[in-house]
Amino acid sequence: MKILILATKNEAVERTVRLLHTAIRKKPNLVLGLATGGTMLDVYQSFAKSALSAGLETDKLTTFNLDEYIGLPANHPQSYRTYMNDNLFANLNIPLSQTYIPRGDALDPEEEAHRYEALLSAAGGLDFQLLGLGENGHIGFNEPSSSLASRTRVKTLTRSTRDANRRYFGCDEGVPKLAITMGIRSIMDAKSIVLLATGSEKAQAVFDMIEGPVSASCPASALQFHQNTTIILDQSSAAELRNTEYYQHVHKDGV
């Protein structure tokens, strides 16, 4: 792991955006894995704005999102298809036919999971995977106890994950209990991974991911076995780390 600790959330977001720019310039037809959630909103807003101003070519990209709620059609306001269309795709010149997200309203979610994994494989796998981090250590919707060898599948969401996402749903709406998610093995097959975590509420999960044992109790800890992973943090999310002095020695101020 490469551990980059930036002073502020904004600096951490901008470092993530810079890495995205670099990867796309190096390979315009990048196969890009994308995450959702609150952490990514600032990333996508900044990336879309800077990509346009810098003349970055995005029309050759292929994207695969990590997950989707089961039971939500693509046009549902809280579906991740709507999230991605509104917060990123609408602001780029990438054809929607090159953007893939599991179908939450598929008649057979298990079959949809297998179909999605096959699409990912047919695309040659992910060149670059962007990740957020759940407060319980999940990546994608791979909740604690997830198999570290898992592929895309149906996963039951924990109560804490549903509570964290309740703010995105109306008071009269229930938060879905199930999702289709890329598995940990699917994520680990990416050639390059960048994980962004900010805020003090992520500090324990950050510690477990980086310095704790590799365990299904913290699915993100599997990233310790990945050969090209960059973890981008702000000071708050890095607060529980014990080896901060060393990380700063190697990459002072996240350089």
In sequence order, the β-bridge partners of residue 233 are 5, 197
Q: Exposure of 129 by Cβ count < 10 A (0-12 exposed, 13-18 middle, 19+ buried)?
A: buried
SS3 for 217?
coil
Q: Report the pLDDT value the prediction gives residue 232, as an integer from 0 to 100.
A: 98
Q: How far apart are CA 140 and CA 180, in angstroms?
A: 9
Verify whether residue 143 is a known catalytic residue.
yes
User: Which residue of the set 87, 136, 142, 165 is catalytic?
Assistant: 136
Q: Report the pLDDT value the prediction gives residue 153, as an integer from 0 to 100.
A: 98
CA distances (Å), origin 230, targets 132, 193, 196, 205, 215:
12, 6, 9, 16, 19
The CATH code of domain 2-254 reads 3.40.50.1360
Query: Which one-letter amino acid corresponds to residue 107?
Result: L
With a cut of 50, which residues of the chain have pLDDT below it? none
Verify whether residue 76 is a known catalytic residue.
no
Tell me if the pTM is above 0.85. yes
Verify whether residue 86 is a known catalytic residue.
no
**What are the pLDDT digits (tens) for 148-177?**
999 999 999 999 999 888 888 887 788 899
Q: How far apart are CA 130 and CA 144, in angstroms?
A: 20
Q: Considering only the C-alpha atoms of the chain, give the largest distance between any 2 of them, rounded to a whole number of Å.
A: 53
User: Which residue of the set 143, 189, 208, 234 is catalytic?
Assistant: 143
What is the bridge-based pairing of β-strands 67-69 and 178-181?
Answer: antiparallel
Q: Report the pLDDT value the prediction gives residue 169, as an integer from 0 to 100.
A: 85
User: Which residue of the set 11, 42, 67, 112 is catalytic?
Assistant: 67
Query: Exposure pattern of 166-196 as b/e (b: 16+ CB <10 Å)?
Result: eeeeeeeeebbeebbbbbbbbbbbbbbbbbb
CA distances (Å), origin 90, targets 41, 59, 87, 97, 233:
14, 12, 7, 13, 28
Return the C-alpha torsion angle 49, 50, 53, 56, nearest 10: -110
Per DSSP, the chain holds a count of helices (H) and strands (E) of 8, 10
- Domain edges within the chain: 2-254
SS3 for 129?
strand
User: Which residue of the set 127, 138, 165, 226 is catalytic?
Assistant: 138
Q: Report the pLDDT value the prediction gives residue 168, as an integer from 0 to 100.
A: 82
